[in-house]
Amino acid sequence: MLLGEDEMNDNIADLVDSRTGRQSRSIYASEDIYRQELERIFGRCWLFLVHTSQIPKPGDYFRTFMGEDDVIVIRQKDGSIKAFLNSCTHRGNRICRADRGNARAFTCNYHGWSFSPDGALAGVPLENEAYFGELDRTKFGLIPVTKVAEYKGLVFGCWDANSPSLDDYLGDAKFFLDVWLDAMPGGSALLGETQKMVLGTNWKLPVENVCGDGYHLGWAHAGAMAAVQSMDLTGLSVGNSGVDLDGGLSVAGMNGHMVLSALDGVSGYAFYPDPKPILEYLEANRQTVIDRLGEVRGRQVWGAQVNITIFPNLQLLPGLNWFRVYHPKGPTQIEQWTWAMAENDMPEAVKAQILENQCLTFGLAGLFDNDDGDNLTACTEQSRGWRTAQMDVYTNMALGRSGKREGFPGDIASGLVSEHNQRYFYRRWQEHMMAETWAEVPTYNINSLTDEEAEHA
Amino acid sequence: MTDTATLERTCEGTTASLELTHALTQTLYREARLLDDEHYKAWASMLAEDLHYHMPGIETRYRRDKTEQVTDLTRMAYYNDSKPEILKRLSRLETGTAWSEDPATRYTHIITNVEVELTEKADEFRVYSNFYAYRNRNERDEDSLIGNRIDIWRQVGNSFQLVKRRAILKHNVMLSKNLNIYV
């Protein structure tokens, strides 16, 4: 039974405590909470749709999801990008059944209604004979995603007309996104087709795993790391066997977006069995990137192991070069979609190596994903019991040990091993879940840098 | 790559003799048994040094869309491995810290529809087969991976080594939480 709104909000207030790092386990299994997430998080936030490199030509389309809503994203004749619900306005059938392609029109299999790439209802069989010419086609176009906007190749959609602009939504996370999107003049691309897999986990668990959990790396992935790690770097002494708090940063407090970043400028490639060609690319272009992004990002962050999380469900790891979206499929299941990431200035051989290495490490058969899938699904399954459902879980490592760090935006905890970012993730989750409208959702970019400071950092 | 026989049939394939077909069929069965029993060292000894092991990802596309999904090696693949890469994957299991592999997964490989053809190389044979790889893990984790394979096997003395394999799964969304299996 669905709870009333007031009852639900009281409940949400009690489910997460960011000051102590506590979460109720019910947020990983409750159907009521999940329905509210679809409305207040996936129905409200800017959600990643597509990278412009995936639909380069007019008519190119890509199917994805916003929450559980099936959406077609399509390049228009004028080069702009629109997105629509993948649902016929007559009887609701799915009008596009392919993952991607190029289309001049989408024709419904059921009764033959046909829609042009701009969403207009272009054809209705027996329009004069059966509808007597009385159907107002302008009222039956495909339902457009309310807002679609691009940031340097990343296209996002949003259902809420009252949301902040994409630019403001991303806030200071752009400082880190630019380390991939704008490091080199040629910009960025996603490589390879979508690797899709079903995981029996609540969608928040993989997000928290990648947004801040450097703690698990050295333990959960010990076997995988031993198999493929090719560099011995201080910045990567993560996990629960040793820790170096100077080697990296846990950055949060940026509108719910989070970053983990090593600071050595190379460690992203530590899990490439043969990192030499990529290290040569980094070496050859280091000065260009320093000129474009400044010393801090150009020398320390570009090439390092960097985990970027854009709230709620997008994660990208420049360096390791995988890019991932989690589509929720009920409280205890997701579809995980993964691509490889590249810079367009990279030599073709390097791009090929990135795609191959992504499949070896973080693809479906990837050595690291073999470990994570098991842990995340078991964390979800273990919340089903009558007794366990009443329990709390904690992200309370290094409470109250964060602050400003010269040259970086955000509220920052030292090191990659902390639970600082996870606390901010759950804080943002709670802020959205308790807010009835966007106006009630706080905006914060803690320790924001001016553009000039960022470039000269 | 041009030094070995091609996976694609260049002309109407010539069926191998009964004796050769039997020998290669037995080789496939032995390989399946070694994989079921996790005898990976013995399995690796059946792999040629110049192995290419390929399992492409398959998108759902309309029939009119002629994008080549299977043979284009620049596309996403679950496996696009050389022998050293396979050995790296296997070395994870030997570290003793691949926690998700303990308790062990229980496997059964069923190999059917075997056809053996001669190729342009006297010592290399094109072998078609279908596989059903069943996995059961922990209490209730279960999946079935079914697909087609095309292999090139090379005769070395009295035995055969796998030179090329293309395994084509039928999934679009993989209905399992990982692929920790060789087919």
Q: Which residue of B has its CA nearest to A190?
A: B76
Domain contains B174: no
Q: Find where tokens 């692929």 sit.
A: B179
Under 8 Å CB pairs connecting chains A and B tally to: 125
**How far, in Å, CA of A384 to CA of A380, rounded?**
8
Q: pLDDT digits over A381-410, tens only?
A: 988 888 988 899 999 998 999 999 999 999
Class of domain A172-456: alpha beta
pLDDT at A383: 85
pLDDT at B151: 98
Domain contains B9: no
- The pair of three-digit structure tokens given for residue B179, joined into one six-digit string: 């692929």
Backbone angles phi and psi of A370, in degrees to 5? -60, -35
**How far, in Å, CA of A68 to CA of A143, rounded?**
15
Class of domain A47-149: mainly beta
CB contact under 8 A, A223 and B92: yes
pLDDT at A232: 64
- Domain span at residue B32? 15-169
pLDDT at A227: 82
H or E element in which residue B45 lies: none
Segment A141-159 mean pLDDT: 98
pLDDT confidence tier of residue A238, bands split at 50, 70 and 90: very low
Test mutation, A370, A379, A380, A381, chain B, max B CBs within 10 A: A370
pLDDT at B180: 85
Q: Between the CA atoms of A134, A135, A137 and A142, what dihedral angle is there, to the nearest 10 degrees?
A: 170
- The pair of three-digit structure tokens given for residue A218, joined into one six-digit string: 């050295």
Least confident of A185-194, A375-384, B53-62: A375-384
Segment A198-218 mean pLDDT: 93
Q: How many residues does chain B have?
A: 183
pLDDT at B12: 65
Q: How far is B166 from chain A (nearest CA, A)?
A: 15
**Model confidence at A352: pLDDT above 80:** yes
pLDDT at A273: 82
Of B64 and A242, the one with more pLDDT: B64
Helix, coil or strand: residue A292 = helix
A372 flagged as catalytic: yes
Q: Mean pLDDT of all residues in chain B?
A: 93
Q: Say which residues have a Cβ less than 8 Å from residue A277's Cβ, sequence separation at least 6.
A: A347, A349, A350, A353
CB contact under 8 A, A364 and B175: no
pLDDT at A3: 60
pLDDT at A360: 86
pLDDT confidence tier of residue A374, bands split at 50, 70 and 90: confident
**Model confidence at A328: pLDDT above 50:** yes
Backbone angles phi and psi of A36, in degrees to 5? -70, -35
Give the DSSP letter string of A222-276. Answer: HHHHHHH-----GGG--STT---TTSEEEEEEETTEEEEEESSSSGGGTT-SS-H
Domain contains B33: yes
Q: pLDDT digits over B126-183, tens only?
A: 999 999 999 999 898 899 999 999 999 999 999 999 999 999 999 999 988 888 889 9
ipTM of the complex in this document: 0.93
Q: Say which residues have a Cβ less than 8 Å from residue B41's Cβ, sequence separation at least 6.
A: none
- The pair of three-digit structure tokens given for residue B172, joined into one six-digit string: 């679009």
Identify the active-site residue in A32, A70, A216, A392.
A216
Nearest Cα to A273, choosing from A210, A231, A301?
Answer: A231
**Model confidence at A220: pLDDT above 60:** yes
The enclosing domain of B95 has a CATH number of: 3.10.450.50
Q: Between the CA atoms of A7, A10, A14 and A19, what dihedral angle is there, to the nearest 10 degrees?
A: 160
Rg (CA), chain A: 23
Q: Between the CA atoms of A184, A189, A195 and A199, what dihedral angle is there, to the nearest 10 degrees?
A: 60
Q: Say which residues have a Cβ less than 8 Å from residue A6's Cβ, sequence separation at least 6.
A: none
Q: How far is A444 from chain B (nearest CA, A)?
A: 36
pLDDT at A358: 85
A111 flagged as catalytic: yes
CB-side neighbour CA atoms (13 Å) of A67: 19
Question: What does DSSP say about strands A114-115 and A121-123: parallel, antiparallel, or unpaired?
Answer: antiparallel
Q: Mean pLDDT of all residues in chain A?
A: 92
CB contact under 8 A, B78 and A102: no
CB contact under 8 A, B175 and A198: yes
H or E element in which residue A205 lies: helix A204-212
Q: Find where tokens 């553009």 sit.
A: A451
**Model confidence at A233: pLDDT above 70:** no
**Model confidence at A213: pLDDT above 70:** yes
pLDDT confidence tier of residue A242, bands split at 50, 70 and 90: low
pTM of the model: 0.94
Segment A161-182 mean pLDDT: 98
Domain with CATH 3.90.380.10 in chain A: 172-456
Q: Say which residues have a Cβ less than 8 Å from residue A166's Cβ, sequence separation at least 6.
A: A46, A147, A149, A150, A151, A156, A158
pLDDT at A1: 44
Percentage of the residues of chain A whose pLDDT score is greater than 90:
78
Segment A100-120 mean pLDDT: 98
The CA–CA distances, whole Å, from A188 to A177, A281, A302, B25, B109 equal 11, 15, 13, 47, 41
Strands (E), A58-187: 60-66, 69-75, 81-85, 100-102, 106-107, 114-115, 121-123, 147-151, 154-158
Q: Which residue of A has its CA nearest to B82?
A: A356
Q: Into how many domains does chain B fold? A: 1
Q: pLDDT digits over A54-103, tens only?
A: 999 999 999 999 999 999 999 999 999 999 999 999 999 999 999 999 99
Chain B positions touching A339 (Cβ under 8 A) are 76
The CA–CA distances, whole Å, from B10 to A154, B115, B116 equal 43, 16, 14
Q: Which residue of B has its CA nearest to A227?
A: B92
